[in-house]
Structure 1
Amino acid sequence: MKDIKVLKKKLFLIEGALILFENEIYKVVENNSNKSVIVNNKDIKKSVLNSELKPIDLTEKWLLNFNLNKNHKITSIETNVEWIIRQTENGIYYITILNEQTLNESTVIGLKYVHDLQEWIFRLSKRTITLF
């Protein structure tokens, strides 16, 4: 498989997305183009500029925190198409459409950060995954 390039992009954060602020994990509870309201696991709320937020790298430990793993299947509730979580040889996670008969992987979406995984799980299954 070709190496997957992960483009630097503006943070797209759904409600419930986990991010870092001042080296602490927070959950996004409100978001607009410039600011977010975030809360930590002690229920401390803050309103911050999105530019102050840092993404969390997606690792196997994070997958396990969400009760997921490599090769976990996600069914799109809109199309009934199955997607699967995979990992490249250099450790980058991605999701792709799974075609059981040919194992043909066509569409590939890179998942570099925890919030990317959360976004795509929500887009496909309408299910929010978070820790608190």
Structure 2
Amino acid sequence: MRRRPNRQVVYFLRENGRLRRVILPVYGKGLWSTMYGLIALGPDLNTVESFGFFAHAETPGLGGEVDNPRWRAQWIGKRVFDASGQPRLEVVKGRVQPDSTQAEFHVDGLSGATLTGRGVTNLLRFWLGEQGYGPLLKRLRG
């Protein structure tokens, strides 16, 4: 993918005038396809409330497990940015070590789908970084 839009639709959920959730469209290359999804961040703009893909052509039973509700549930409560404001959220190879100091940023990898996992990490790092929604999220925090 060599082109990205200059503008993107972003969704804001407000309750009683307060920001409750920001929903950001994301997309990027998996192993076999472009994966299209949405990530919802809580009011702190750093905690994942939901993440999933609505379109992809990854291998069923391998990369296609991005649709598995158990895998999707692992994203809830994960942190996006470290203390310096850099995106750190990623899919790791294997299982997340719960006692790791980085566990709050990590999600279990998908068995047999290392390239799909890398694709998910890469698309999140892009869209949550300086070339994606990073500047918007900084403005909203300020």
Give TM class, smaller chain: under 0.3
Larger Rg: 1
Higher RCO (CA-CA < 8 Å; seq separation 6+): 1
More strand by share: 1
Q: How high is the TM-score relative to the length of structure 2? A: 0.27
Q: How high is the TM-score relative to the length of structure 1? A: 0.28
